[in-house]
A and B are shown apart, each in its own frame.
Chain A
Amino acid sequence: MSDDWRMLTLIGKDGPGIVAGVTSALAGSGVSLGETSMLRLGGNFTIMMMISGEADDESLRAMLEPVVATYGMRLHIDHIDARLHEHLVPNVQVTVSGADRVGIVAQVTNALAEGGFNILDLDSDVAGSSDDPVYILLITGIANETVEQVEQRLEPLRQSGVSVNVSAIETYIG
């Protein structure tokens, strides 16, 4: 398989059958998928896919046009420097939750960055209710410090009433 990867981003209103429609169009044109991630964000369909194949951007757009039109999606293509088989294994997980307010993610990630923490995955969500929103943030990554040191960095958040949980991820290999 070629190492000439493009990142295909599609955003639109969610509905059943979108992934099937998109991937069928790609497969039908000999386009291979690498790593992909689909998420629903605020009721929207979002997907990012590493793709590889002979088709140029123009013919990619043409082959996706029917499904893009059907679901009213926006399509974006970037040529990227990418490789497969480069997964990193996280060793620390950080979960943060509390009353929603501006700046929680910035505060958490700045504190982590100061310690050289490498974020591999980050998901955040607003739960609770419209009147009483709760912010929930999940981070996994690679810390070069102990769990206690990471906790210490996040202590100011805890002091401000946000719930912070730091735990080691011990990956079992067998």
Chain B
Amino acid sequence: MAILEILKLPDPRLKQASEPVTAFDDELQGFIDDLEETRVNGPAAVGIAAPQVGEFKRVVIIDCSTTRKPVPNHGHMILVNPEITHWEGFEPGREGCLSVPDYTGNVIRATNIKLSALDRQGEPVEYEMEGYEARAAQHEIDHLDGMLFVDRVVSRRTDLFRRKVYQKGGGKK
């Protein structure tokens, strides 16, 4: 087990797309353990994606079970080759990133998603996620495609107006 070095902007490797995992061997298991150790070592990190440590494999880890106020979640998940198969709704929310120190901003994400992936042994899994956890999955899967939240950040003025309208319309939260 080891804590891996996190790539930080403006490292161009963060813009690189990652390749699907094909071998579920000991090397992958060791890497996933290191990635998890790196995630929990990060300040307040909820999720992490393999390319953030310079491994361009389609692997992400998410755990939304530790928010200040509990949110709907599936606990700790290791998602290999994740694919979002369905999107619904959208909502702004604040995001930050281990790879972008000292900056947080509002990003619009789908509120409900369906996702298929493989677990660390290569067995297929499917999840339906909402809200904060759906945001986590979208943020991490973006990393696999070389996309950072700063590429999607929106004006605080505009989106807060919108957010209020949604809430009045009976939206979530």
Contact = CB atoms under 8 A, between A and B. Distances in A.
A56 B71 CA distance: 53
Contacts of B49: 174
Interface string A23-51: 00000000000000000000000000000
Interface of B (DSSP majority class): mixed
A55 interface: no
Given A93-B160, A123-B157, A165-B164, A171 B95 contact: yes
A9 interface: no
Given A87-B102, A87-B103, A136-B161, A172 B96 contact: yes
B85 interface: no
B157 A170 contact: no
Interface in B84-105: 93-98, 101-104
A19 interface: no
B139 interface: yes
Chain A interface bracket (under 10, 10 to 19, 20 to 34, 35 or more): 20 to 34
Given A87-B103, A123-B157, A174 B167 contact: no
Contacts, number: 75
B156 A172 contact: no
B161 A172 contact: no
A157 interface: no
A173 B132 contact: no
A172 B94 contact: yes
Interface of A (DSSP majority class): strand
Contacts of B71: 170
B132 A170 contact: yes
Interface residues of B, number: 35
A62 B61 CA distance: 55
Contacts of B48: 174
Interface in B18-68: 42-49, 62, 67-68
Given A85-B102, A123-B157, A171 B173 contact: no
B62 A171 contact: no
Centre residue among A89, A97, A136 by max chain B CB count within 10 A: A89
A167 interface: yes
B117 to A, nearest CB: 16
Interface string A101-137: 0000000000000000000010100000000000010
Given A95-B164, A174-B139, 4 more contacts: A140-B156, A170-B68, A172-B47, A172-B135
Interface of A: 85, 87, 89-90, 93, 95, 97, 121, 123, 136, 138, 140, 165, 167-174
5 contacts: A123-B156, A123-B160, A168-B69, A172-B47, A173-B44
